[in-house]
Chain A
Amino acid sequence: MTVDTTGSPTDLLEVDDDADLIEVLASHGWGDGLPVVAPTSERVGAMLAGCNGHDPEEVVASLPPRFGQATRLAIAVNAVMAGCLPDHLPVLVSAVRALAHPDLNLRGVNATTHCVAPLLVVHGDVARTAGYHGGLGAFGPGSRANAATGRALRLILLHVAGATPGDGDASTQGGPAKFGFCVAENLEASPWTGYAASVGVEAPSAVTIHCGEAPHNVHDMESSSPTGILDKVASAMATTAQNNACISQGEYLVALCPEHAATCADAGWSRGDVASYLFQRARLPVGELKRAFAHRAWTPWMQSLQDGEAAPMTGHPDNIRIMVVGGAGRHSSVIPSWGMTRSVTVPVEP
């Protein structure tokens, strides 16, 4: 498919009123295969009201591999198409800023054959005021804010960044998280301080982008102590099947359900204690890792480990990121990063 990348968001495209909009978009190489809301001037203008008068033409970020200019206008067009509301636009604009942070390595994220997708996590006041969901079934389906904002971010990657499968996105199998991957942190049910503050972002509202795989479930109905739960989390982390396994800067986002988090906190464990324990327990024999990977992007101290020793799945406990997501029940999840990427948290600003 040849992708039409010539159109500026200000150059309107004429479409028959009774045309199949999915097919019209597909003829330009646009869209994600699902029905979209037509981005008419009226709708885009209403969407831009969500940015409280900030310049629609200002370039928020330039996104590789196409180096498309993500102006507020271009972001708003994709937000309309995905079904967002104006209250969602500041979250989306902030998410685009995070995507463009050099630590995130968006060019690599888009170019890899891995199935990585940017997970957008919404923190703080805006999660409540704009309807983002962090409770029961948080990863979906069901929440318009989560679904539409996650989808809009993917549409921005497709259209503005040029992450078109086959051209700008080399993912071997793709993945369901590439349609949309957005959730809220369940701060009300968390025994710890908010995640954003824990990584140094003190703001009423914030977003995190973590480029990772779809969630890997961790099921534990039995344990009444942190170790029982976290040993199972560690087992989900410790596998040679993940991109992370041979990359010591790789991150693991551990989304603990409220009940698992409460079991840990009630025993006096802080978020840091959970990460430290997982760093200690999520390990594989060095010899097994060496057999699995001819090249290992390990820090020098990990390279010095001997075959009989156990290597951690990441080079530092800080690479294990803990937050609370979900509702009643005892299922948590591990979201391994792609590896050569760092999660980025920024304040929500329009």
Chain B
Amino acid sequence: MQIHPPTGAASTPPITLAPTPAVLAGRRIGILDNRKPNAGILLTRLAERLAARTGAEVALVETKNAAIPCEDQVLGRLVEEVELVLTGTAD
């Protein structure tokens, strides 16, 4: 017996991740707090430690709602002002 696979082809996702900088010294780190519980605390501490270890600086903290896509204005500010963004904690 032959059957049709049920998945369908996959489209190219509408976004791709930017390459991660190889060296962080002198780079600016941004935090995108998705407002999940303790996300701000965790991401800020992580960014501060990363900055201290590498010579980067924490330059920008933004917030968004985890349930919906990030607003273009917020993404625009991050693109303008930082080279690395930490985000994405869950419940």
Contact = CB atoms under 8 A, between A and B. Distances in A.
B17 interface: no
Interface string A204-248: 000000000000000000000000000000000000000000000
Given A16-B1, A105-B67, A297-B65, A77 B10 contact: no
A12 interface: yes
Contacts of A14: 1-2
Contacts of B2: 12-15, 40-41
A40 B14 CA distance: 33
**Interface SS of chain A: helix, strand, loop or mixed?**
loop
A25 B4 CA distance: 11
B23 interface: no
A329 interface: no
Given A112-B67, A340-B67, A340-B68, A8 B8 contact: yes
What's the interface size class on B, roughly? 20 to 34
Nearest to B37: A294
A314 interface: no
A99 to B, nearest CB: 14
A38 B2 CA distance: 9
A10 B4 CA distance: 6
B29 to A, nearest CB: 23
Contacts of B8: 8-9, 68-71, 73-74, 159-160
Contacts of A294: 37
Interface in B1-45: 1-14, 35, 37
Nearest to B36: A295
User: 10 closest A-B pairs (Cβ-Cβ)?
Assistant: A7-B5, A74-B8, A340-B67, A159-B6, A12-B2, A67-B11, A77-B4, A160-B8, A108-B67, A68-B8
A107 B65 CA distance: 13
Given A67-B12, A297-B65, A39 B91 contact: no
A19 B9 CA distance: 26
Contacts of A68: 7-11
Nearest to A341: B67
11 contacts: A5-B7, A7-B6, A7-B7, A8-B5, A9-B6, A9-B8, A15-B3, A38-B1, A40-B1, A78-B6, A340-B65
Interface in B73-91: 90-91
**Interface SS of chain B: helix, strand, loop or mixed?**
loop
B3 A67 contact: no
Contact of A77 (B6, B11, B68): B6
Nearest to B13: A67
Contact of A13 (B3, B9, B11, B13): B3
A81 interface: yes
Central interface residue in B6, B65, B91, by most chain A CB within 10 Å: B6
A181 interface: no
B4 A39 contact: yes
Central interface residue in A9, A28, A294, A297, by most chain B CB within 10 Å: A9
B10 A69 contact: yes
Interface string A136-161: 00000000000000000001000110
A15 B91 contact: no
A71 to B, nearest CB: 6
Interface string B46-80: 00000000000000000001011100000000000
B1 A74 contact: no
A297 B11 CA distance: 32
B10 A5 contact: yes
Given A9-B7, A108-B67, A160-B6, 6 more contacts: A8-B7, A14-B2, A17-B1, A30-B7, A66-B10, A159-B6
A62 B11 contact: yes
Contacts of B68: 105, 108, 340
